[in-house]
Structures are given as C-alpha cells and as structure tokens.
Structure 1
C-alpha cells in the first residue's frame, strides 16, 4: 500500500547550512504520527520542507506517490496538505471572520466550510467579529486550526499546538484533534508535551541532529521509559 506521505533521503537547510540529514518517514492515510526530539534538532525545518516553505537540496517528498519536493507551498496545499504553524501566526489586525474568509478563497474541495468550522469550534463563532489580537492564546490556536481545515486537507502538519497554553486549554485542543483524526485526517504532530503527543498518535518518531533515530508504536515507546528518556535527553 502506498503511504499518503512518503519522505526519503531528505536533505535541507538554510543559507548553505544543513539541518536535515537524509530524513526518511511515512504517514499513512488517516494515521497520526508524532515527531519528538529536543529543541533545535530540525523538527520545524522538516514540516516546513514538507509544506514547501523550504526547498530541499536532495530527496523526495511523495504524496500519494507524486513527488512534491520542489513544488511551491500552494501546490502542496492543493495536493491535500495544510499546516498549523508554531506560534499560530494569526494576523493581529484581522477579525476571526476575515481570517476564515481569506482561507475560504483557497478552499480545497471537501466538507470543511466556514459554517462547519464555526459548528465544530463554537468559541470561534462567538468571537467571529473580534480581532485576532483580542483573542486568547487558545482561541488563536483554534483559529489557526480552523484556517487550516478550510484547505480540506488529507494531511495536517501541526507544529507545537500546545505551546504556551494552559492545561485546560490543551485538553480542549486534544479533544478537537482527536475528533479530526477519527474523522480520517492524517496528522504529523511536532510536540513537546509528551502526554498530548502520545494520546493523539499511534506511532512515534524521534529526531536527533537532523535525522530520524527511532521509530516505534506508542505502546512500545511507553513500555520502555528508560529508552524514551535517553532518546529525548530527559534525566
């Protein structure tokens, strides 16, 4: 069976400096995979390269067998990939509704519409006329997710979705993401919150120094706490 996302021998970086070193991974249709690792090992660079924000020096990024490694982000989005970036990156002067209107102009074919986003995230509906600058961190994260969903993605790239959020808000984000995964959206999740990551995913990847150094099921990863601590540099 062909993986939805199949990355092989990926080399990429910035200004001639290498960050990713022969990275390989796959995500199957409807699967949730979490990517763990210390800060600075290349996790964000990897999701940015998959999304088309960074042009790789070498390697392939196949979506349903089609290599998109050197295509622009707009083409990757049309192929069914969306990103919820680290730090949310919403635009302070725009309202919730304006954010979603802009995303709606480029909406992919599928069931996700502004109306469905509001139904799924009623807090956004309540705040639709508020500026992004007036939203809480959790509300901004919901907006970033809603904006991504309007692309009707088959694969959602999530970069640190719990960053800076209170535990009760993280639980709400978790429930939302679980519902999206159960609805068939595949997820590649970069996350420092180990509890959240292992709740959402079925498979674990660990990155170190720009390459994948470990792959296992969540169950196997949980079963060997000493190995997990070593891989993640936790004492």
Structure 2
C-alpha cells in the first residue's frame, strides 16, 4: 500500500519512532515495525536493532585565525604623486582591516561536516557505520543529548578515543534521543515536555491518520500528548 498524499518517509520514521517509544514507556518489548536493513549485528544480550538510515556527522572546528598584513611601500612626489601615495596607504589600511576581520571569523568555532554513514539505533545504544569503520555506542557512554532541531541531535559522550561532541543529522535522530533519554535520563526536560518531537507534527499526524494517531501517541511522555489520549 502506498503512502497517503502529504505523508513522507520522514513522517514514517517519526510515526515508527512514536510507536517504539510508546512501547518502551509501557514496559513492553520494543520491536521495529519492519525489518532493519543494517549490516550491524546486536552485541549485547537482549539487544534489538530498531532502525537504520543515513546520517551526517558534524564536529566543531576553528580556523587558524591568521592573516597576512600588507606593508608594501609606495611613495611618489608631486601633487598627483602625494595623492596617489595617500590613496595606496588608505587602501592598505582598509585591506588589512578586512583581512583581520576575516581571520577573526575564521578563528571562531563552527560546525563542519565530518562525514556521512549509516546510523543504526538499537534498544541498547547506536552504531555509526562509515568508511573509516564502525563506531559502537552504548547509551551509558552518552553524557548529554538533546534535539537541536528536527532531525538533528547534539550529543556529547566518551568515545574510545576520548570525549567528543557531535551533531548527528538523520531521520532517526528523535528515536536515538528518546531511547537514550528513557534509558539514561528519564527526567530530561525535552522528554518530559514533549519538545523532542518537531513542533506541530502530532497535529499533522492526527490530520492524516485520524484515530490511529491517538493510539500511536497515547503513551508518549510529555503533557502535549495528553490531548491525543483516548
């Protein structure tokens, strides 16, 4: 059966996320609605793979902040020459100022793409498969996590190479966040308020799915889901 008009693959991921999160909240076994297409195998006892999809990883990076100051010497005599000398000097000052400002902008920390791969979310953690290898993460290794915007989580934790902070962009970002929060930080403000879901998405789902939406979100954490409970 094809998807309804206005119902995207992203909507499907959020719908499946809600169903799996609701099962975890109710203390039921969590299973994916469809088989998970991932080369990753579960490693922990009782671990179940829940979803897999493309991911882009971002890291904080700063430029060197250096700039080359122009100090070329120019001097000409005569009225015209003196005017030209002044113009060249003014141009050098302006150019140096612009280069210094640009260097300052380059020195400011900013998020830059650090590669793409496959994100696999499970009941026990998550995995990032990339050309450089497989990075397995348990939820216990994640110190903080929050949804920065729809489809993106800001995550800090202890990797095998030391502490890291990443942004992970994926259709399964909300699932990663919710499963981590339920396992490691059930009082997380975003989880408690329902702010981990995109603004207006529950209403969007209710318009397209009717009564099925109420059943899907009835057990989700957050006061905003109360009006969908039957």
What TM-score, normalized to structure 1? 0.30
Structure scoring higher RCO (CA < 8 A, sep ≥ 6) equals 1
What TM-score, normalized to structure 2? 0.30
